[in-house]
Structure 1
Amino acid sequence: MGLYSNARALAFSVAKRIVKFLYHDIKVLRALCCRPFPSRPSIKSVHEGARAHPGGIYAIFLLWQPKRFSWYVQNALESLNEAGINIVAVINHDLSEDQLAYLSGHTRSIIIRDNSGFDIGGYKDATTYLAKSNIALSRLLYLNDSTYFFKGGLTDLFRRMITSEADIIGTFENWEFTYHIQSFCFAVSGDLFRSEKFQRFWTSYLPVNSRLWAIQAGEIGLSRAMIPIASSIDIIYKPNALRPALSTLSKDDYTGLIKLYPGAIRFPHTHFLRLPKSACVDELVSRIGLRSQIHTGGFLYRKYLACPIVKRDLLYRRQFSADEIEQALLETGHEGHLDEIMTDFKRRGDSLHLSVLSRLKVANGIL
């Protein structure tokens, strides 16, 4: 049995390396080789919207909504406007006339582009667009639609991000492997935006259609570029922010919270019986910092800190089962969108049920 298991593990490792070479490494090499030569512009068109706000506060909102603008996108657009933020919508696909008309009524500008480089490629194009516009920008938010945006507390969250004095304010951070600020919702000051190093990162960033590249060279690369030049960094949802709420609970309550943690870092039900209460709180808090914190602590942040953001890939990334997600939303709040959310999760599915090739891509971080 041991020999068979070892052989399977070796075969998987070899297959994984082959898939990485074919579907990631070759794409990167091709992009690097083609870089010195003229390429087709990624931006197809730019449209002026009808919703402008005074001042220099802007948001780049990256969207992939080919059929219609979902409720969570509408929530985000409404809250950004309520906070007085000028929205530059970046769409990685073509728009219907109805979609364009709707978006025009809620944004200051609309950039329609191809999907090269995925979200980080869209951030690059919009950053370059704003830099060339000579706007007296005082604060810039970056966000995308990889999360559900619940309306309760969302406008207040955006207001906190634009009134912060920190050069960088992020909603979540990630200490797994390499520290970085998670790129689905963060903001920078005007001074940092105009800095040479920040602009150099974006002008030199090479868009490649690989999720692995977008994370390593894009999300992590961006943090490496901007963190050293930031005079201050503020993270809104940190594990220690949960301590006051957790400290008021009983040990029975702690056992009940286990289901709000992803399966991979979940405690045994008897774990808290032998620990003093302070140690229980320490354990609950420290587990959240092990991985991507919107995945590890997202439901706890929603339950105790009214966080209006929940990741849309919790099932696909096998953090929770569909039943666990449904129960967590019933406990932490879904604002009447439970059926829509569960349909969205089930539509994308669990990566375990993908083809062998796709599962190998997921194992490499390519999908």
Structure 2
Amino acid sequence: MSRLPSAAAATAYQRRWFADLKEQVAAGTPLALVNADAPQEIFRAMGIPYVVNQWWASIVAAKQHTQEQLARLRERGYPDYTEQYSSTSLGSAFAPESGPWGGLPMPSIVLAETTGDASRKIFDVWAEQPGVTFYPLESAAADTVPERWWELMPHRWEEAVGTDRLDLMTGELHGLIRFLETTTGRRFSERRFTEVMDLVNEQEEWNRRTRDLIAAARPCPIAVTDGIPAVMIPQWHRGTEWARDAAKALHDEVAARIAAGTAVCEGERARLMWIGRGLWFDLDFYRRFQDRYGAVFVWSMYLAIAADGYLRYGGDPVRALAARFAAFSDQLYTPPWSAEWYVHQARTHGADGVVHLVSDDARGSWATTRALRAAGVPVLELHADNVDARRSDPAYLDRSVGDWLEAEVLGG
């Protein structure tokens, strides 16, 4: 099957955007490096270009440059074996012109939530580089956990996240705005920020419709390797008309394929979920099981969290943005937030099995596996890093998944 047009268009757009970005930075425009779970919308509203840390790590891995970047960490005495998804970009700081697409320009601002000791230390090293300032955000926890948080978040986010957590992050975001105004000379416009937040909601509504179409479709109409870039590249451009329109284009293509009876695998025998980050160094991984077994990956967290994790309506726009990110990691990694959501997604998508990628830095993976198995869903845990292939022999991964499919999913 030919590649999904929206996936190809998004990839082409991203290459053009990155080339333009490098020219802007070379001309003196300040650049931010931000984590995937950071409030990028403030940068969007202020016209400050940014690169998403984990997106760059995925490009480096897909182009087989990860080991070069990790070696630069190792040469300087830093560990090359922990949180590689977050630390790969740090390797670029020591050789900005190296790597795919001409390398990552040196940022002047880095932004991340301080989740875990290693993550904090990665960004502390960034802050030691000449001309780089690190703005940290706290990582708060809650005493109570809402049931079916995905139903509450769009409109009842104060109830879902909790007032204390929102007070903390709202204050930090106002501090971030003041910091950016002081360091970049850019001004924060409430009107522009409200426009950005409205565009994000429009984009995620399209993603929600697309997710629900795929959940109900039999057979699956698109490959997960098309769905991920078609969703995530626009996600990194949230708050723009292009991103909103790209999300609509993906929806329309999926709807058209379903109406035409198009199947990504004509002999579909099993519907699988992929829980965890994308296996960026081996994207062909997903197709191999489709070809050999008729086992199709119909779900990844990327479209699903776009559908359920971002919509925020009403209230003060800055506080609504705080509600988007104060509990973001909980939704994906902290039980029972995450575990209940994955079970719900498995049921709505008719999943016959789950392949669960467990990285060394994963939080709460055990609870996700336990909850799915308790719900009657077969789960295979793959212990591997999603960008570092050193401990991820393709033959071993293929054999593990193949044996599991034959024994637990396809009924021998």
Please say whether Structure 1 and Structure 2 have the same fold, judged by a TM-score greater than 0.5.
Answer: no
TM-score by length of 1: 0.31
Q: Which structure dedicates a bigger proportion of its chain to helix? A: 2
TM-score by length of 2: 0.29
